[in-house]
Amino acid sequence: MGFSGMRSRTRTVVGIDAAAQPENIGLARGTSARSNFSIDAVATRSSREEIVELLIDWCDETTLIAIDAPLGWPAALGSRLDRHRAGLPFDTDSNAMFRRRTDDVIHEVFGKRPLDVAADRIARTAHSALDLLRRLGDRLGQPVPLAWDWADADLRAIEVYPAATLISRRLPWRGYKGGKDEAVSARESLLESLTDEVLIDGAFCERACASDHILDAILCVVAGFDFLEGVAIAPEDEQIARQEGWIWAHKP
C-alpha cells in the first residue's frame, strides 16, 4: 500500500484514540516519507489541557487529525428529539434513531458494527473528542473543520475506526485490548504485521505493546494516511455524512 505522487510533499497525521477520561486517551503522530510513513511520536497525558498543549506542539497548518470516536449523531435522532415529549412514542425505527449511515456501511463492508453513538457509553467518548477539537480550535483562534476530500490541505480532522483498519488488512481485531499477557502478545504481533507499511521506532513499539490506547492511536494514524492516499471508502450521500459524520476506512 505505497504512496502515490500526491505524497511527494510531507504530511503529518495525528492519531487520537479518544476516551471519556483524559488519562485513557492515546496519541500518536506520523509523518509521510516518499514510499512509506513513520511514527515519530506517541504519548498519553493526564488532563485535557495537557493534551491540547501537545496537539498544538504536534500540529501545523496542514496536519490531519484522525480520531477514533464518533463525530456526529444520527440525523433521525436530532429531528425527532426536538419535538418529543416524555411519555410519547417515537414514529421511527430504533435502528434509524440510534445508528448512522456510516455505521451501517462499516457493518456491511467489514462485518463489524461500531457502537451506537446515540445509545451507548460511546456518546461520552464522542463528546470528549468534539470537546478536544473545540479546545484546540479555541487555542488556535479558528475552528478545526472535518475533511471530506484527501486534497484538503489545511488543518482538518476525520473520524476513523481501528477495527476496520485492521480488518481491511486482514489482521485480527479481537484480543489485543487490556493488560493480560495474551493481549500484550497480540499487540506485539499486530505491530510486527504493520512494519511493512509503517516505520515504528523500537521505543514506540514498546509503548504500544504496553498500552492498547497507544496502539489504537497508531492505527488512527494509519487510517489517516489511508484517507490521504485516497483509498478510503467515501460516502455515497455526502449531505447526510456531513450531518452525521463519516468513518473513513480503507477499501477492502
CATH number of the domain bearing residue 210:
3.30.420
pLDDT of residue 195: 87
pLDDT of residue 120: 72
DSSP class of residue 149 equals: S
pLDDT > 70 fraction of the chain, expressed in percent and rounded = 90
Residue 147 has pLDDT above 60, yes or no: yes
Q: Is residue 251 part of a domain?
A: no
pLDDT band at 118 (very low <50, low <70, confident <90, very high): confident
Count of structural domains, the chain: 1
Of 3-7, 80-84, 180-184, 213-217, where does mean pLDDT reach its minimum?
3-7
DSSP class of residue 35 equals: T
N-to-C CA span, the chain: 12
Of 50-59, 145-154, 221-230, where does mean pLDDT reach its minimum?
145-154
pTM of the model: 0.91
Cα 237 from chain centroid (whole Å):
20
pLDDT of residue 85: 65
Using CA atoms of 185, 122, 110, 1 in order, give the dihedral in degrees to the nearest 10.
Answer: -60
Residue 128: how many CB atoms within 10 A of its CB?
Answer: 20
Q: Is residue 22 part of a domain?
A: yes
Q: Tell me the C-alpha distance between 58 and 13, whole Å.
A: 9
Q: Is residue 125 part of a domain?
A: yes
Q: Is residue 117 part of a domain?
A: yes
pLDDT digits (tens, 9 = 90+) for 222-251: 999 999 999 999 999 999 999 999 999 999
Residue 175's domain comprises 5-81+89-244
Q: Cell numbers for 250, please give them.
A: 480503507
Residue 174: how many CB atoms within 10 A of its CB?
Answer: 9
